[in-house]
Amino acid sequence: MPLLQPPSLGFLPSKIPSQNVCLGYWRTSTAHSQDGQRQIVSLENAGCKEIFGDQITGTSNYGDRPELSKCLAALGEGDTLVIHELDRLGRSMVEMLVQVNGLIERGVHIKTLDGRLDTACMPEELVKLIVGVMGYAAEMELKAIRKRTTEGRAIAKERGVKFGRKRSYTQKQAATVMEMRSRGDGYGTIGGSLGMTPSLVRRIILRETAEAI
Active site residue 29: yes
Q: Is 115 left (phi over 0), alpha (psi -120 to 50) or beta?
A: left
Number of continuous H segments (helices) and E segments (strands) in the chain: 7, 4
Three-state DSSP state, 20: coil
Helix spans in 46-92 (H): 66-74
Indicate which residue of 29, 42, 60, 69 is catalytic. Answer: 29
Whole-angstrom distance, CA of residue 86 vs CA of residue 96: 8
Asked if residues 127 and 119 have their Cβ atoms less than 8 Å apart, the reply is yes
Give the CA count within 13 Å in the CB-facing half-sphere of 91. 18
Helix spans in the chain (H): 33-45, 66-74, 93-105, 124-158, 171-182, 187-194, 198-212
The catalytic residues are 29
